[in-house]
Amino acid sequence: MTNLKLIACGMGLPKKVVTNEDMAKTVDTSDEWIYTRTGIRARRFCDEGESNFTMALEAAKNAIAAAGITPDEIGCVVCATFTPDYLTPSLACLLQLHLGLSEDIPALDVNSACTGFIYATTVARGFLDQSDREYALVLGVEQLSRVVDMTDRATCVLFGDGGAAAIYKKSESAAFDSFLGAKGSTEITCGGISREIVPSPLWMNGKEVFRFAVGAMYRCITDLMERNQLTWEDVDHVVCHQANARIIDRCIHKLKAPEEKFYKNMDHLGNTSAASIPLAIAELEEAGRIKAGDKLLLIGFGGGLTWGGALITYGGK
């Protein structure tokens, strides 16, 4: 099967910044409580005229421009989201229409919550393997402010909205590996159509999810490194799902891993679920901290419960 290399990312963020102090005006909380438990200081929330789709479109346009390709070169579009504007058409189909992508390519949404970007990358690899085209457009996009109960202080302070897109290119030589896992559970739920079955707002068992997240991250990193015979010298960046700084710190400690290789951005974006990994890569790119040939470990865990890890190579523009 063909390997992939990541050649460019693009972001689509809402304009409105909501600080912990802003949250404390509406629920009984404080900057001190939120920051010490999560590492979060602020998040973005969509305002009027912004939505899952508008963030996705902006991110995709930015990624396509950064990659220096044309939409007709794209061989598939896969969107990771559990907060799409419509159940149908999918976000991927909306992007096919608005970006003028070929009609002869697959367009699909993937719902694996916070692990979504790893699942979407793996799905895109399979599609590209069957395609004459060279590039895949893969997104992680969430409008979590739409599904969070803004009166529930235990959840509303944790999440933010955002989207990011990645352009992958087929590569024979780039290091690539991924694996995925799932264990059905109702530790994290968010009601959809069947509101009589599951209460609508996003709900999670915070303590259980914390335990699961540390274990899943540890296993994803050690498995990926063992399978690919990597040492920490070989890894340039570890980009984990940005749920909580304490989860990442606990894992770094358990692994005795070099802290500086773990990127964190939840301080200004909060937990953006499927968008958090591609947003982090886009920020690394924008800051000039990532160069051609760099090896990245992408580590996701979240609702489902799901988890997954990917070893990817950054190809430069």
4, 7, 8, 38: residue in contact with ligand ACO (rule CB under 6 A) = 38
- 224 is written with which tokens? 């990926």
74, 221, 247, 281: residue in contact with ligand ACO (rule CB under 6 A) = 247
Active site residue 3: no
Q: Does 204 bind ligand ACO (CB under 6 A)?
A: yes
Please report, as residue ranges, which positions from 147 to 166 form the binding site for ligand ACO (by CB under 6 A).
153-154, 157
C-alpha triplet 286, 246, 276: angle, nearest 5°:
35
Taking a C-beta distance cutoff of 8 angstroms, is the pair 134, 169 a contact?
yes
Q: Does 37 bind ligand ACO (CB under 6 A)?
A: yes
Taking a C-beta distance cutoff of 8 angstroms, is the pair 278, 9 a contact?
yes
74, 136, 165, 188: residue in contact with ligand ACO (rule CB under 6 A) = 188
Name the residue nearer to ligand ACO (CB basis): 23 or 136.
Answer: 23
Phi-psi region of 304 (alpha: psi -120 to 50; beta: other; left: phi over 0): left
The burial of 256, by beta-carbon neighbours within 10 Å (0-12 exposed, 13-18 middle, 19 or more buried), is given as exposed
Helix (H) or strand (E) holding 278: helix 276-286
Active site residue 268: no
Strands 74-80 and 42-45, bridge-based pairing: unpaired
Please report, as residue ranges, which positions from 111 to 130 form the binding site for ligand ACO (by CB under 6 A).
113-114
Name the residue nearer to ligand ACO (CB basis): 130 or 151.
Answer: 151
- Report the SS3 class of residue 176: coil
- Report the SS3 class of residue 146: helix
Q: Does 250 bind ligand ACO (CB under 6 A)?
A: no
Which residues are identified as catalytic?
114, 241, 271
Contacts with ligand ACO, residue ranges (CB under 6 A): 29, 33-34, 37-38, 113-114, 153-154, 157, 188, 204, 206-207, 209-210, 213, 243-244, 247, 271, 273, 302-303
